[in-house]
Amino acid sequence: MKINYPGINQSVLSAHIAILFIVLLSYQPPLLAVGVPDVAAISAESVRDHERMLWAAFNRCDTVKLHQLLDPELEFYHDQDGFIVGARALTETVKRNLCSDGQPRLRREAVGSSDSVHPIPAYGLLIVGEHRFYSGREGPLATPSDARYAHLWRLHDGGLKLSRVFSYAHQTGAELATTAPLSLAVDSLSLYAGSYHSVQTGAIVISVVEHHLLIKAEDFEMPLVPLGDDIFDAGHAPLQFRFVRTATGSIEGFTISELGKLVDEATRVAQP
């Protein structure tokens, strides 16, 4: 039985149906084959390690290391500044606009434990979260700006390269003025616990007590309130503690600033 559809050229419709039929017959669902990335073999912590290396390079203006972590065909999208295509173009932009004198004009810190990792089958892993930028290396409240980010890491030849970046939902310093203190899980806090030593203060011990950090030295003891990943406030005292990580992400020490001025530095004491 032949059905006629008003307003439709039957010969054109028949040709389209024939083409669709051929396509369906020739279609084969994609299979994991040799050379297809095994995303399941990559852990979420591995992605977080790459994120730490990425931002450590950014904060140090190490554009060589930064470039090594980028996919050559990277695409970067920013809800205020537009987009950049290519790893070389992004590296040159960072070098020209943020590191022209060899010193960082921006310092990036993660906001608490806000990130989450999601696998993208046969491609890589997506990590999303929140972060905060400060103007300059030091200064606790120097023009902060918050934003959300989504980073897509591509798995290729057994390694991860950052291939897509989305930076959005930016907030200005005025909008952040009423931000409530963060709450970190005990597992996250325990990364900072340990023994430290500084020239001015001497021996310092940081421990986890009732879901917060407690810092103790010979002449003071005070709780530390998290403001962001690796940044803690001393409550009512005008002090800020900024923990420093190695390139691999482990805590190696911290700095103490008072009203934006660096007043002391401490290094972690290796346990016997």
Q: How many CB atoms lie within 10 A of CB 106?
A: 18
User: Which fold is adopted by the domain 186-268?
Assistant: Lipocalin (2.40.128)
218: number of CA atoms within 13 Å, CB side? 6
pTM score of the predicted model: 0.53
Residue 173: per-residue pLDDT: 54
Over residues 136-157, the pLDDT tens digits come to: 544 444 556 788 999 999 998 8
How is residue 19 written in tokens? 């083409």
55 three-state secondary structure = helix
Q: Does domain 39-171 have CATH number 3.10.450.50?
A: yes
Question: Among the listed ranges 183-197, 219-233, 241-255, which one has the minimum average pLDDT value?
Answer: 219-233
Residue 237 has pLDDT above 80, yes or no: no
The confidence band for 235, taking pLDDT boundaries of 50, 70 and 90, is low
The confidence band for 236, taking pLDDT boundaries of 50, 70 and 90, is low
Q: What are phi and psi of 41, to 5 degrees?
A: -80, -10
CA 28/CA 261 separation, integer angstroms? 64
Residue 176 has pLDDT above 60, yes or no: no
Residue 56: per-residue pLDDT: 92
Burial grade of 120 (CB within 10 A; 0-12, 13-18, 19 or more): middle
Taking Cα atoms as reference points, which of 71, 84, 10 lies closest to residue 94?
A: 84
Question: Among the listed ranges 191-195, 226-230, 234-238, 268-272, which one has the minimum average pLDDT value?
Answer: 234-238
**Parts of the chain belonging to CATH 2.40.128.50:** 186-268
The confidence band for 239, taking pLDDT boundaries of 50, 70 and 90, is confident
Over residues 17-37, the pLDDT tens digits come to: 455 444 434 544 444 444 667
Task: Indicate the average pLDDT of the chain.
Answer: 79
Residue 152: per-residue pLDDT: 97
Residue 23: per-residue pLDDT: 42
Question: Among the listed ranges 54-63, 71-80, 175-184, which one has the minimum average pLDDT value?
Answer: 175-184
Is-contact 165 75, C-beta < 8 A?
yes
Strands (DSSP E) along the chain, which ranges?
70-78, 82-85, 106-110, 116-120, 124-135, 145-156, 159-171, 194-198, 202-209, 212-216, 221-228, 231-233, 239-245, 251-258, 261-268
**Parts of the chain belonging to CATH 3.10.450.50:** 39-171
Residue 172 has pLDDT above 80, yes or no: no
CA 10/CA 121 separation, integer angstroms? 41
Strand pairing class (231-233; 124-135): unpaired
Cross-strand bridge partners of residue 243: 254
Query: What are the contacts of 192-199 at 24+ separation with CB within 8 A?
Result: 192/243, 192/251, 194/251, 194/268, 194/269, 194/271, 195/268, 195/269, 195/271, 196/253, 196/254, 196/266, 196/267, 196/268, 196/269, 197/266, 197/267, 197/269, 198/264, 198/265, 198/266, 198/267, 199/264, 199/265
